[in-house]
Amino acid sequence: MDFNDKVVIVTGGGQGIGRCIVQTFADKGAKVVIADIDDEAGIENEEYIKSKGGDSLFVHTDVSLEEDVGNLVDKTIKTYGKIDILINNAGVGARGTIYTRPMEEWDRVINVNLRGTYMCSKYVAPHMRDNGGGVIINIASTRAFMSEPHTEPYSASKGGIIALTHSLAISLGYDKIRVNSISPGWIEVSEWKKSREAKKPQLTEEDHLQHPAGRVGKPEDVANACLFLCSEEASFITGANLIVDGGMTVKMIYV
Ligand code: ADP
């Protein structure tokens, strides 16, 4: 898979899964724009890529703010002249429970995860269309299909991302823009956090064996799925949702 000279925007590219996606595309020769609200993490990742001889640009971006998203797209076009790939990865979890959570918390999660995904796609799509096409990947979650107590805003935002992906794939298909989602399951991200925050969770044998694949997921599992869906080899795949969960969601659990 060749991504030489491709221009890729990764939202939430400072830490976690997004940080790994950034480095994976950079390793394949792409020019990667890191859009994150966390300046320290974003700059750290940009510098890391440059130290390895790669090409990267950090743009401070809150994906829930229209002004920031407009600025992100402007800076990318000014710097690199085009946008080939957009990975909508920025996301936040919900605090509290349905009994304690103020409505502002619902708005915050929906605004970042769902509205942010739509808004980044909306601002990027005209540039992709005018450049002959592109690929958008929206990072959803297995929480779109299976839930834990009190995850309503997060689960609803991720379910919304999958429906949004269907609609975008249809709207943008004839402009040669493919749109797919990826639903990660349990992904262990501690090694992809800013160095000062890295703390390893104690994973048990049982945690790993919950997965038919025999292990908890890694950010690389999601990043590699992104590479494939963005490649020419996936040129007939649009509107799809790829579950990357080691088989956990298809496993019957007896209680
Ligand atoms: P995950 O484990 O899913 O990778 P993380 O919390 O490690 O989640 O990473 C999410 C990334 O998204 C972080 O770098 C965070 O700073 C970024 N992020 C969170 N909110 C926003 C936002 N509103 N705009 C842009 N980036 C954001």
Between strands 177-184 and 31-36, the pairing is unpaired
Which two three-digit tokens encode residue 211? 């997965």
**Residue 12: partners with Cβ closer than 8 Å, 6 or more residues away:** 18, 35, 36, 63, 89, 90, 91
pLDDT tens for residues 23-33? 999 999 999 99
User: Whose CA is closest to 141, among 88, 69, 194?
Assistant: 88
Q: What is residue 91's DSSP assignment?
A: -
Q: Is the CB of 44 under 6 A from ligand 1?
A: no
Banded model confidence at residue 198, pLDDT cuts 50, 70, 90: low
Distances (CA, A) of 85 to 82, 129, 138: 10, 12, 11
User: Catalytic residues, which ones?
Assistant: 154
pLDDT tens for residues 2-44? 899 999 999 999 999 999 999 999 999 999 999 999 999 999 9
Predicted confidence at residue 199, as pLDDT, reads 73
The Å distance, Cα 255 to ligand 1 centre, comes to 34
Which two three-digit tokens encode residue 102? 């103020």
User: Whose CA is closest to 121, among 89, 154, 143, 144?
Assistant: 89
Predicted confidence at residue 185, as pLDDT, reads 98
Give the integer Cα–Cα distance in Å for 28 and 5.
9
Predicted confidence at residue 68, as pLDDT, reads 99
ipTM: 0.98
The Å distance, Cα 149 to ligand 1 centre, comes to 22
Kind plus residue range of the DSSP H or E element containing 196:
none
Of 11, 22, 36, best ligand 1 pocket probe by most atoms within 8 Å of the beta carbon: 36
Helix axes 16-27, 219-230, angle to 10 degrees: 50
Question: Using CA positions, which residue lies closest to atom 22 of ligand 1?
Answer: 62
User: Mean per-residue pLDDT for 126-138?
Assistant: 98
pLDDT surpasses 80 at 195:
no
pLDDT surpasses 80 at 73:
yes
Mean pLDDT, the chain, rounded, equals 96
**pTM given for the model:** 0.97
Distance of CA 58 to the CA centre of its chain: 16
Percent of the chain with pLDDT over 90: 93
Banded model confidence at residue 196, pLDDT cuts 50, 70, 90: low
**CA of 187, closest atom in ligand 1:** 2
pLDDT tens for residues 147-183? 999 999 999 999 999 999 999 999 999 999 999 999 9
Q: Is the CB of 134 under 6 A from ligand 1?
A: no
Predicted confidence at residue 194, as pLDDT, reads 80
User: Mean per-residue pLDDT for 201-230?
Assistant: 96
Torsion angle (degrees, nearest 10) of CA 72, 76, 79, 81: -150
Q: Using CA of residue 112, residue 115, residue 118, residue 122, what is the dihedral sign?
A: negative
Banded model confidence at residue 255, pLDDT cuts 50, 70, 90: low
Q: Is the CB of 46 under 6 A from ligand 1?
A: no
User: Mean per-residue pLDDT for 93-99?
Assistant: 96
Q: Is the CB of 17 under 6 A from ligand 1?
A: yes
